[in-house]
Each structure stands twice: as structure tokens, then as C-alpha cells.
Structure 1
Amino acid sequence: MIYKNVTDISLGPIVKIAIDAGHEILRIYNRYDYDIEFKNDCSPLTMADKQSHQKIATQLQKYYKNIPILSEEGADIPYSERKSWNTFWLVDPLDGTKEFIKRNGEFTVNIALIENQKPVLGVIYVPVLDTLYVAKVGVGSFKIKHTKQCRLDDDKDIMEQGTVLPCSKNEDVVKVIASRSHLSQETEAFIEQLKEKHHRVETMSSGSSLKLCLVAEGACDYYPRFAPTMEWDTAAGHVIVEQARGYLYTVEGKQSLTYNKPCLRNPWFIVENR
């Protein structure tokens, strides 16, 4: 297809690609006998990461030949090549590999479409929960549980069968979600500042991009991230949060995150829905 703008992309095929990749991850997750490698930055890598990447990349290239792909497991594309990309897929085939290894179920498949350095479409699938979060500019942000029971062929199906986000709100208590694997002193200081401003503050932990999804749906009010992340960690969740009327902004300058930077590392940021 010849891409003009995000309205040319139906959510249905992207959702199917994410769910199929999630099923491949579960197939390996349930085996218990997979090998664990370590990348140059000492982060873990499993067969599930590789297989999910291959499945997603193959399907995206099949349906959208003219849109390039940047994936965590294929992130060695030099900036000299990708700097000309106005539109591209940004993929984390298994977000939360540490949670996958710990077997706590808090891992996701993330697929985002970036246009002019901003995410305009995002799909996050939680394989263990069979739960989908999806958003598209001009359509909205939705949560769908029990996807096996749903028809999800196009935007209309998703709008009809999904729950519009946010779907809950904490009035009496401020809830803060933090990373299960990357809790920093700065995050703890941020939580203490909230406690000085609000009568009741509760904290909770989660892995992967689930934190962004929980803010988008209103289950949490803040997600402070004062620790390293990469662009593929946040892109899909970013648009899901924004289309749910939430905010994701940098700590320095309170600017929206941008994508396809020369260095793919994100600055520290805060996500909120209040």
C-alpha cells in the first residue's frame, strides 16, 4: 500500500500481528526450557524476543512494504539511514524480558506507528492476560479483554467491542505506579513530594509498558520514570495515554517525547492522567 497518513492504516491487521506474536511468546513461555543470552548492554535476550521480532517484522513487511521498521531486536540501523524516515514502525517484540524470565506475566508486545517523530497509532498486547490496549489518532484509546472471543478486523470492531479509556478514576487517593525492576532514588523522592501535597498516596509496581496502560485506563494517576528507557519502550503506550486524555512529558522542560532521535534513549519522563 502507498501510505499517506494514519487514516490509511486499519487497526485490525496490526492487532492481529501483535496477538499472533503474543501467542508465539506464550508458546515459548510455557516450555520452561528456553536459553537466556545477554546483549552488549547486559540486558537479557530469549528465543521469545527473537521469534516475536521475526513474526512481527515479516507480517508488517508483507502488508506495508513501503513503511520501514525499527525494532529493539533490529536496532542497529544507523541514523544516517533512518533520519529520512518521516513514517516508520517502532516495535518492541517483547517488552519486559526480565518479567518474562521471572515468570510473573508482566510482559507485552508493543507496536507503534511514528509519523513526524510522534506516535499516531499504538497497540500493546498482554499475552498472559489476553488483554489488548490500542489507540489511534482520530479514533481514541481502548482496552479489550478476552480477545479470543472478539472480532477485531477493523477500527469499527475495536470501537464497538473495546472499553473507552480512561475507564476508571481515583478520587480519594493518588496512585503512583513504578517499575518493578528499575526503582530509583529519584522515583522515591517524587513519591515523597506527592505525599506532601495529597492526603492519601498509594504506590504499586508493575513491569513493562503495562505501567503506561494502567495510567491510560485510570487505574493509576502517575508513572514517574527516572531511569533509562528506549524509544520502543514508550511509543505505543505514549499514544495510548494521550488518546486517553493523559500526558507524557519530559522532566526537563515538560516537553512531549519525540522519536527517531540520533540517540534512541529517552530522557526521564512523567506520565499522568490527572
Structure 2
Amino acid sequence: MNNYLPLIINAALNAGSEILNVYRSEISVEWKADLSPLTEADRRAHSIIETALLTTGIPVLSEEGEAIAFSDRNDWERFWMVDPLDGTRQFISRSGDFTVNIALIEGGRPVLGVIYAPLRGTLYYGSEGTGSFKLEGIRPGMPLDWPVITGSARQLPFRNGRRSYSIVAGQYFSGPETEAFIELKRKQYGKVETTSVGSSLKICLVAEGSADVYPRLAPTMEWDTAAGHAIAKFAGCRVYDHATNAELSYNKENLRNPWFIVERPDFAAAVAS
């Protein structure tokens, strides 16, 4: 799997470069049938990533690709799951919290993931057997090779000395269920800090230890979470169904996720240590 990391990191960086080209121009928006926004940046990023990934001989399932019937993908043991531009609303509003997400799924579980935030110059990646890492100051067009990446990246999670329980939530779709979840944590831990960011960066904050939990009690799709799931999982976090407590799975007939939680190990034990 790690042989694929240089390929998909370069694909993410190249997609990020095209996304920034559109970001710095006038952004025109179309609306898909599900009323989610679509821009030229989504299309360009998808084309770059798909072209790179197809060289592996592994099928690609992308938010912006052609719809693939469940009967055709049901037998896939391994495939790429891609969100070429996660956080399109943040992209349109120019808030900066948008990412490129690429994951490798095996047996319905993510085994490798890369998330790149091009405006921030931040790259997260994680894989089974290796762990998860964060690399900062990485810009599209920089000459990068694998030794440079592995030598500069910091392994997740970080020790940050926080003494308060931290919850990260989305900039959109936060409803009464999320507020009730936050109130429950206040009763459990006392002082609670809350942070709001966009896109898959929420999952990354839990993975790196800047937050303890991300409750997503609102709709998402599998491509929204697959890469972040891998990074969080291999940084020691759980990504699980809010109702059943089971780990999220991928390549379901309906690609919509259930409500889910991304959570670091027990906060009280971490503070005590």
C-alpha cells in the first residue's frame, strides 16, 4: 500500500494546484440534482486524480465521476474512493477550509488515506501498518520526493497539553442533535471547548489530537469520510456509527453514511497521563 502513497500524494497536489487556479478567478457555480454545488474546480480535480489512479489498475469511485451501479461495484475487493474537492461550499465562500480526499478501500474498510488542504499548504496521510502523519508548508508545484515527505512529516497524534475536552463541529448542518451531544459532554467533562471548521479537516483535528471528538449527526456520503477515516483510524481514533457503535463501512448499495462519531481514546486517561 505504501508504494501508492507517492502517487496519490502527487495526484492530490496536482489537483490542489488546479483548484487554486479556479479559486483565484471568478467562481461559477452549478447545482446538482441533490442541490449540492459543483464548480469547475471539482471537475478539474476529478480529472487529474482519476487519470493518476487508473494507472494502478484499481477502479475509482469518485463523487464527480460517472455513477457506478451497485451490481457493477459490489464485487470490488479493492477500489479508490475520491472526493476531488471536499468543502465546495467553503471553496465558494473562500473560507479556506476545503480539501482533496483520496482513500484506498479494501474489504469495505479504508486502508490508506490522503487529505490535502491546498490553501493551507497542509497534507495529512495515513496507512495501515505505518500510522498517520501531517506535513505542513507543502504547496502545489513544489519538488517533492518520498524521502523528503517522510523526513519532514510529523506522526499523529501530537501531545498538546490540553486540559479541556474539545469538540469539533461543522460550519454547516449543525442541528439540535449536535447541541444535545455537546451538552452531554459538558455534563460528563465540565468545561468543553468547541471549534468549527469545514470539510474533512474536522476529522484531521481529532486525528492529530487538537480535538477529542467530532460528532457528525447530519448527512454525509462515503467519499466525504473515507480518507479522513483512514487517517484517524491509524492515528489511534475510532470512526463509528452513532446508532450501532460499529466501524463505518464503505461501498454500500446506498453510499450515504449513517450518523457517525470520530473519537480519540478516553480523555480522562489522557489528561491523567
The alpha carbon displacement at 1:240 in A equals: 0.2
The one-letter code matched in structure 2 to 1:153 is D
Query: Is 1:41 matched with 2:21?
Result: no
Distance 1:150 1:23 in 2: 10
The one-letter code matched in structure 1 to 2:31 is F
CA 1:150–1:221 in 2, change beyond 3 Å: closer, same or farther?
farther
Q: Helix, strand or coil for the counterpart of 1:160?
A: helix
The alpha carbon displacement at 1:160 in A equals: 2.2
How big is each residue's C-alpha offset from its partner over 1:66-122, in whole Å with a ceiling of 9 and x where there is no partner?
200000011510000000110000000000000001100000000000011000000
Equivalent residue in structure 2 for 1:106, among 92, 97, 109: 97
Equivalent residue in structure 2 for 1:181, among 158, 172, 184: 172
CA 1:75–1:34 in 2, change beyond 3 Å: closer, same or farther?
same
Distance 1:193 1:85 in 2: 40
Distance 2:37 2:49 in 1: 20
Distance 2:182 2:264 in 1: 16
Question: What is the correspondence of 1:60-99 to structure 2 with a 5 Å cutoff?
Answer: 60-61=53-54, 63-64=55-56, 66-74=57-65, 76-99=67-90
The one-letter code matched in structure 2 to 1:20 is N
Contact 2:42–2:64 (8 Å) recurs in 1: yes
Q: Helix, strand or coil for the counterpart of 1:41?
A: coil
TM-score (norm: length of structure 1): 0.93
> Could you tell me which residue of structure 1 aligns to residue 181 of structure 2?
190
Equivalent residue in structure 1 for 2:22, among 17, 28, 38: 28
The one-letter code matched in structure 1 to 2:98 is F
The one-letter code matched in structure 1 to 2:17 is H
Q: Helix, strand or coil for the counterpart of 2:261?
A: strand
Contact 2:7–2:52 (8 Å) recurs in 1: no
> Could you tell me which residue of structure 2 aligns to residue 128 of structure 1?
119
Equivalent residue in structure 1 for 2:145, among 145, 153, 161: 153
The alpha carbon displacement at 1:227 in A equals: 0.2
Contact 1:44–1:98 (8 Å) recurs in 2: yes
Query: Is 1:258 matched with 2:249?
Result: yes
Contact 2:28–2:39 (8 Å) recurs in 1: yes
* Count of residue pairs the alignment pairs up: 264
> Could you tell me which residue of structure 1 aligns to residue 268 of structure 2?
none
Farther-moved stretch of structure 1 (168-177 vs 79-88): 168-177
Distance 2:31 2:190 in 1: 44
Q: Helix, strand or coil for the counterpart of 2:64?
A: helix
Q: Helix, strand or coil for the counterpart of 1:27?
A: helix
The alpha carbon displacement at 1:152 in A equals: 4.4
The one-letter code matched in structure 2 to 1:19 is L
Equivalent residue in structure 1 for 2:222, among 219, 227, 231: 231
Q: Helix, strand or coil for the counterpart of 1:21?
A: helix
How big is each residue's C-alpha offset from its partner over 1:252-273, in whole Å with a ceiling of 9 and x where there is no partner?
1100000000000000001111
Contact 1:21–1:109 (8 Å) recurs in 2: yes
> Could you tell me which residue of structure 1 aligns to residue 110 of structure 2?
119
TM-score (norm: length of structure 2): 0.93
Q: Any gaps of 5 or more consecutive residues in structure 2? A: 266-273
Contact 2:113–2:125 (8 Å) recurs in 1: yes
Q: Helix, strand or coil for the counterpart of 2:126?
A: strand
Distance 2:244 2:7 in 1: 37
The one-letter code matched in structure 2 to 1:29 is Y
Distance 2:260 2:161 in 1: 22
RMSD: 1.4
CA 1:260–1:195 in 2, change beyond 3 Å: closer, same or farther?
same
The alpha carbon displacement at 1:199 in A equals: 2.0
